[in-house]
Structure formats: structure tokens, C-alpha cells
Structure 1
Amino acid sequence: MLLFALYLLIATVILIIVAFFYVSSIAATPPKGRADDLSKKLSLKSGRVIACIGDSLTHGNIGECWVESLRNKYPEDTVLNEGINGDVVWQVNNRIQSIINCSPDIIILMIGSNDAMASFNKKSGERYKSSNKLPEIPTFESYQKLLPKLLDKLDGTSKIALCTLPPIGENKDSAINEHVRKFNDFIELTAKNKNINLIPVSNLLWNELSKRTYPVKSDYDPSSIPIIRRIYGGMMHHYIFKKSWDEVAKSKGQWLLFDHIHLGERAAKILFNATKKYISSV
């Protein structure tokens, strides 16, 4: 009996390890239809080039992909998914030229969530600097310098929409969302100063969160182990047990963000509708 229990334990551990590496491989896979792909092997469609630039919230393999919904909505257009998991604004600045080389007609930019998390406390900043191989720890002050610099590089594109950032966790009065609000205030000010269109993602998602039908169970924890557990646990439930992202979210007491960070189907639909409205207006 003890031997059977031991074998069962070993088998369970092996399955968990295999599942972890499986979802890790998914997270590490770049999005399809990037500017690099276009220059190497893809041809332009007859319509416009629409570049969606950002981090994992745009990438869409950790959570629902609103960019793929845009591709389905605008099949004659070339929709580039330039969201890279974990990116901060410094990294987008460094890879923007390949996107510019595609001469996008429309750009949708949503970047800063990782900058906000990295600058929230010292340990988070050190973790981001190490894992992303950054020259320095991201700060709000560096974001204030690098976001306008990025937009200046995109100056040749007349149709640019800048998105405010989604919540981190679903507690409006939390310290992390107070921190995110600083970034969003700056994004709004930058859009106004540069006469760039603004997509109010933050307000749209907070409006939806006011409709939630069950209470918040937990709040965002910036420590590395809880973050890894939430992200990879959610991905296992989705990719292995085939639960929807919103089902995963509900099991954790979340309404929009299944792991306090990434978008479920309900949240992604809001982003899709907001970006579709902008694209259809220009």
C-alpha cells in the first residue's frame, strides 16, 4: 500500500512538471503575424496594416486574444500582433523599427502594465531587471521619458490610438491600482499633449467591474511565487482542463482578470469592441 502511494505521488509530481513545461512552452511562443514574419515570409493583404503593440495583454496566449478577434473582423487588413509577454516600454522602444518598416496605417499601443508592476516595489523591479535583461530597474520616471520617445518614433503614422492600462487586481482602492492610476494619468496627459487618440481601457474595465455579481476573494500579491502560481495555474486549467478563462477567473473570485493581471473573455471582448470602434472611425 505504501509503495502504491509512493508511485502515485511520483506519477503526480511528474504530471505536474510535464504540465508546467507544456504551458511554459505556450507562454514562450511569440504571437503569430508579427512584423518580423511579414518581412520574412508573409505578404501584405489588400487592405490596411494595423499594428497592435504591447505586452502579454496584447500577445494573448496568457489570457484571451482580442487581436485575433480584430483579424476575424477585418479579414482584408493585415493585423500585426506586436504584443510580447513581459515587455516594458524600454523593450518596445528597442524593437519598434521592424514595425515602422511595415508602414502601418493604424497603430494601437497599450504598454505600461509591466512597468507599473516592476516599479511597484524594489523586489519586483529587481525581478523584472533580471528576467528581462534590462539595463536598469523600470520606474515611473523612466516611463515618463520613454513613452513620449516611443511615440516620437511613430510620428510618421497619423492614426495612432494610445490605450490606458487595465487594472491590476480588481480592488479599485488597492495600492497597486493607485500606482497604475499614476501611469494612466500620464498616458492621458501624453495623448492630449501629442494630439493622439485615447482608448479609455481602464475606465471601460472598471465600469464592467462595477457589474460583478460576486465579491472579490483576493487581491494582487507582487511576490514572485503567488504570481507564478496564479499565471501557470490558470494556464493549466485553460490549456489542459479546457476551462474558459472566465471560468478560471470565477473559480478565483475574479470577474475580468483570471490571475489579477491577464484578460479573460469578458475583458478581451471589451478591448476588442473599443479598438474596433476606433479602427472603424478612421
Structure 2
Amino acid sequence: MQSIVCIGDSLTQGNYSYDWVKNLSKKMPFMEFINMGKNGETAKVMKTRLKKDVIDLNPDYVVVLIGANDLIGATNETAGKMYVDMFKDILVRPPCQEDYQNEMLQIVQILDLKLPKHTKVLILSPPPIGEGGPSSNEWKLGLEFSYICRNCVRTASQRVQFMDLFSDVQWDMIKMIDGNYKPLNLSLTKMSFSYMLSYILDWNNISWINNYKYTTDGIHFSKHFGEVIEDIVKQWVETYLGDDCVIQNDSVLNF
């Protein structure tokens, strides 16, 4: 059985949002899905566990989705200090665009150099954070982060690919939010409340209760949101599985 490691932050771990990794494992039972998402991590923090949580597992596929906390910390001073306190042995200053660029380049280079030659790697740009719309600081920086991910992949071999999750989600959000933008309000209380509700309600209902159109709390995946990344990853893997799989689009970018 082939294996796929999905590594990232809470958007991958899936206990504060729709668990796209778990749902993909149900749709593709012939593959072993290994969820290596860790809540709260930035790119620099995640980089420290690449060997143990990815390379040493000798996977056939790797999906990397990291940057949401870098973006939050770079646009919110209080959150930035919080991340330094959370990871004081690793972070010497709050997240910023420059550090994200440096860390993503190193992550791509490490995976390309250290993984077995048969392993395929997909780098996803982090999705828009918040429902503030294109004029919000979070969305503006999110676009820059997407460019960073794309450019880092261009330095790697052909087996490392990039998908612009930011743009796919952005246009989907614009249609669904329909102009009803709202500023990002970070609330750990609301996140914890949503987590408890998830035992009795689905994530779309939780999104409605929290008065969000697309996310559950301004950051995390509702079912609709999560299915966007789910479809992207599924279609990417299917491009390598032979003629028995149906390829629904050709949006994967090769460099």
C-alpha cells in the first residue's frame, strides 16, 4: 500500500476544522494517509520535525500546507508574541514575511534532497486567512505567501510541485461571502467552543452558529472549505496512479 504524509498546522491536523485528511482516506482506502499536522505551528517550527515526521517514514507522497500561523503572527502583533511564547526554544522573533520565505525555501530544499527519489511532493500555498476580503491585510499578505511558495518550488526538481490553494479558495470565498466581509477577530475561546460543538454538529452548522460564511471561526475549514483542498490533493495523487483513476482537471503546475 502506498503512503501519503500530510504535514502542516491545525488546517491539516483537523481537530479544529473539517478533517480533509481523514475524509480523503475514506475516498482512497487503497492508500495509507498519515496525518502529521500540529496545531499552532509556523513554518520554522514545522521544519524541525521534517526528518522524524516525514523523511524517516519513506512515504510515496508528501503534502505540505503551512503558513497560516506565520500569516496571522505577521499581521497581528499580539498573536505574533503568542507564537514566540509557544515555541520559545525555536522562534526568536514573531513570524514575518522574510522568515516565511527563508523557511519555505529550506523546507522545499530539505524534502527534495532527503526524500527517496520516488517520492512526490506537493507544496500548497496557505489559503486566505479571515473573511476580510481582498483589501484586508491578511489577504494581501496571503497573496505574497502564495508567490513565495511558487518561487520556492521553482528552485526544486520536477518531483516537487506547487498548487495555488490561495487563489482557488479566494475566488470561492468571494462568491460565497458576496461582499459581506468582516475583519478577522482571533478568539481562542471561539475555537475551543467550535471544537466542543464538533462532537454533535457538522462544521457547516458550526460556521453558521459563529456567524461566518466560509470558515468556522475566521480561520479553520468548514466542510465546503475543506473539500476544496480535498479535491486538489485527490486529483494530484491520481495523476500518478495510472489510467484507472479519473483526472478531473489539469491545474497542477509543474516546474
Residue 23 of structure 2 corresponds to 69
Aligned-pair CA distance for 1:257 = 0.9
3-state SS, counterpart of residue 49 of structure 1 = strand
Partner of 1:95: 49
1:68: Cα distance to partner? 0.6
Amino acid at match of 1:87: E
Amino acid at match of 1:165: P
For structure 1, list consecutive stretches of 5 or more residues without a partner in the other structure. 1-46
Do the aligned partners of 2:108 and 2:153 also contact (CA within 8 Å) in 1? no
Within the candidate set 70, 74, 89, 1:115 is matched to 70
Rounded Cα–Cα distance in structure 1 between residues aligned with 2:130 and 2:76: 16
- Equivalent pairs, count: 230
Partner of residue 169 from structure 2, selected from 200, 205, 211: 205
Name the counterpart of 1:85: 39
Q: Distance in 1 between matches of 2:11 and 2:120?
A: 21
Q: Which of 269, 277, 281 does residue 227 from structure 2 map onto?
A: 269
Deviation per CA, 1:74-104, whole angstroms, max 9, x where unpaired? 2222211010001111121111111201111
Question: Residue 167 of structure 1 contacts residue 202 of structure 1 at CA under 8 Å; is this kept in 2?
Answer: yes
Whole-angstrom CA distance in 1 between matches of 2:91 and 2:205:
39
Give me the whole-angstrom Cα distance separating, in 2, the residues matched to 1:121 and 1:55: 18
Structure 1 position 54 matched with structure 2 position 16: no
- CA distances 1:159-183 after superposition (whole Å, capped 9, x unpaired): 1111011111122221121122221
**How far is the alpha carbon of 1:188 from its aligned partner?**
1.5
Distance of 1:86 and 1:150 partners within structure 2: 18
Instruction: Tell me if the contact between 2:128 and 2:139 (Cα under 8 Å) persists in the aligned partners.
Output: yes
1:236 aligns with 2:196: yes
Instruction: Spell out the pairing of 1:84-233 with structure 2 (5 A cutoff).
Output: 84-98=38-52, 99-133=54-88, 134-137=90-93, 138-155=95-112, 156-157=115-116, 158-172=119-133, 173-194=135-156, 195=158, 196-212=160-176, 216=180, 218-221=182-185, 226-233=186-193
User: Using a 3 Å threshold, how does the CA distance of structure 1 residues 214 and 245 change in structure 2: closer, same or farther?
Assistant: farther
CA distance in 2, matches of 1:198, 1:135: 26
Give the 3-state SS of the residue equivalent to 2:107 in structure 1.
helix
Shift of 1:271: 0.9
Match of 1:210, SS?
Answer: helix
Deviations 1:151-203 (A, max 9, x none): 12211354111101111112222112112222111112212332531122112
Shift of 1:255: 2.4
> Aligned-pair distance for 1:213?
6.4
Q: CA deviation at 1:144?
A: 1.3
Structure 2 unaligned spans of 5+: 241-255
Report the RMSD for the aligned CA atoms in angstroms. Answer: 1.8
Using structure 1 for the length normalisation, give the TM-score.
0.76
The separation in 2 between residues aligned to 1:281 and 1:61, in whole angstroms, is: 29
- Between the aligned partners of 1:274 and 1:186, the Cα distance in structure 2 is 19
User: What secondary structure is seen at the aligned counterpart in 2 of 1:218?
Assistant: coil
Instruction: State which structure, 1 or 2, has the greater radius of gyration over its C-alpha atoms.
Output: 1
Separation (CA, whole Å) in 2 of partners of 1:166 and 1:213? 15
Query: What corresponds to 2:251 in structure 1?
Result: none
> What residue identity is the alignment partner of 1:210?
I
Instruction: State the alpha-carbon separation in 1 of the partners of residues 193 and 84 from structure 2.
Output: 24
Give the whole-Å Cα distance in 2 for the aligned partners of 1:75 and 1:276: 12
1:81/1:203 CA distance change after superposition, 3 Å: same
Give secondary structure in 2 for the equivalent of 1:101. helix
Counterpart of 1:259 (choices 191, 196, 217) is 217
SS at match of 2:103: helix
Please, which moves more after superposition, 119-128 or 258-267?
119-128
Identity %: 23
